[in-house]
Amino acid sequence: MEKQKVLVAGASGYLGRHAVREFATRGYSVRALVRDREKLSTEGPNLEPPISEFVTEYFTADALDTRTMKGACKGMDLVFSCMGLTKPQDHISSEQVDHLGNRALLEDAIACGVRKFIYISVFNAEKMMESDIVKAHELFVRDLKASGMPYTVIRPTAYFSDMGMFFNMARSGHIYLFGDGSNRFNPIHGADLAKVCADAAERNETEIDVGGPETFTYNETNIMAFKTLGLKPSITHVPMWIADAGLFLTGLFNKPLASVMTFAISVSRFDNVAPPTGSKGLADFYSALAAKG
């Protein structure tokens, strides 16, 4: 039987690399949609694997120029997209990348007769629509649902790559947290999430909420980071009203940073515990980061 072919958009990112490896290991032929293929040949900052060996072919495109998406899906059976703007960038909005970039990809998928589109949004999105990032994801979800294309939307909690960001803060000696740190969440390793993504290719669910196997408070994960590094925990809890005031001021002069801050503040307001899956624990991830130096 001929191999199933999947286009992975966002292949150079944290989840994208794990997804490329998972699909390829399951026997799919993978086309990676990238801006810079060189990135795929080295390990990422959060221990994401180098993945060049798993990629059958590349398609170079940039969501900021939607015309470049044309032909990306030619000959593909499936599209998996975790293409998104996750870090502040001058003059670039989530609307451009997460909504309009993915919409251009969807239009190409429809034109090319793709059988299914799998998309990554965010767990608890409906509670965070004040965030530009979440809103852009959900505007795309709306387009996807209206398009007639068979789809699965996967809504994960925080990734271990976010935990890596806090780990780096701990390395520098101090962590700032929005709120009192008592809210609970179950972060997920990219490899565990990639399995859910690849399973979705062969299943019929249209929406999947998913988190990792362990639930923590934000305080617990950060204390764990300090302890792994052999450091005394040092955490400042920024009260939500100060966070909101800081956000207002930031929004006046730095919109990209305010966008990321809005998401970070929104997600800190409540518990984010999704149905658990996977086997990879946070303590092992932190130990591996510490060993890497």
Please report how close the Cβ of residue 33 comes to ligand NAP at its closest, in angstroms. Answer: 7
Q: Give the footprint of ligand NAP on residues 96-155 (CB under 6 A).
A: 97-98, 101, 120, 122
**CB-based closest residue to ligand NAP:** 13
Q: Which stretch binds ligand NAP (CB under 6 A): 95-103, 108-116, 232-240, 283-291?
A: 95-103
Chosen residue from 5, 6, 7, 16 binding ligand NAP by CB under 6 A: 16
CA-CA distance, 123 to 35, in Å (whole number)? 27
CA-CA distance, 163 to 281, in Å (whole number)? 12
Provide the b/e sequence for 177-207 (b: ≥16 CB within 10 Å). Answer: bbbebebebbbbbbbbbbbbbbbbbeeeeee
Do the strands 5-9 and 29-34 form a parallel or antiparallel pair, or are they unpaired?
parallel
* Residue 256 interacting with ligand NAP (CB under 6 A): no
Closest CB to ligand NAP among residues 96, 231? 96
* Residue 2 interacting with ligand NAP (CB under 6 A): no
Q: Which stretch binds ligand NAP (CB under 6 A): 83-91, 174-182, 229-237, 242-250?
A: 83-91
Q: Which stretch binds ligand NAP (CB under 6 A): 49-57, 82-90, 202-210, 282-290?
A: 82-90
Contact 13, 86 (CB under 8 A): yes
Give the up-direction half-sphere exposure of residue 162: CA atoms within 13 A in the CB hemisphere.
17
Cβ within 8 Å of residue 195, ≥6 positions away: 22, 277, 278
Please report how close the Cβ of residue 245 comes to ligand NAP at its closest, in angstroms. Answer: 25
The contact mask relative to ligand NAP for 162-201 (x = CB under 6 A, - = no) is x---------------------------------------
User: In terms of residues, how long is the chain?
Assistant: 293
CA-CA distance, 214 to 221, in Å (whole number)? 11
* Residue 40 interacting with ligand NAP (CB under 6 A): no
Question: E strands along the chain, which residues?
Answer: 5-9, 29-34, 57-60, 78-81, 116-120, 151-156, 175-178, 184-185, 207-210, 216-217, 235-238
* Residue 79 interacting with ligand NAP (CB under 6 A): no
For residue 5, what are the CA distances in angstroms to 24, 110, 219, 227? Answer: 10, 15, 43, 44
Closest CB to ligand NAP among residues 3, 142? 142
* Residue 10 interacting with ligand NAP (CB under 6 A): yes
Contact 61, 100 (CB under 8 A): no
For residue 131, what are the CA distances in angstroms to 7, 88, 166? Answer: 28, 13, 21
Please report how close the Cβ of residue 161 comes to ligand NAP at its closest, in angstroms. Answer: 5
Q: Which stretch binds ligand NAP (CB under 6 A): 12-20, 172-180, 199-207, 244-252?
A: 12-20
* Residue 84 interacting with ligand NAP (CB under 6 A): yes
Please report how close the Cβ of residue 165 comes to ligand NAP at its closest, in angstroms. Answer: 9
For residue 143, what are the CA distances in angstroms to 45, 104, 119, 159? Answer: 33, 11, 12, 25
Chosen residue from 6, 7, 15, 177 binding ligand NAP by CB under 6 A: 15
Site of interaction with ligand NAP (CB under 6 A): 10-16, 35-36, 39, 62-64, 82-86, 97-98, 101, 120, 122, 156, 158-159, 161-162
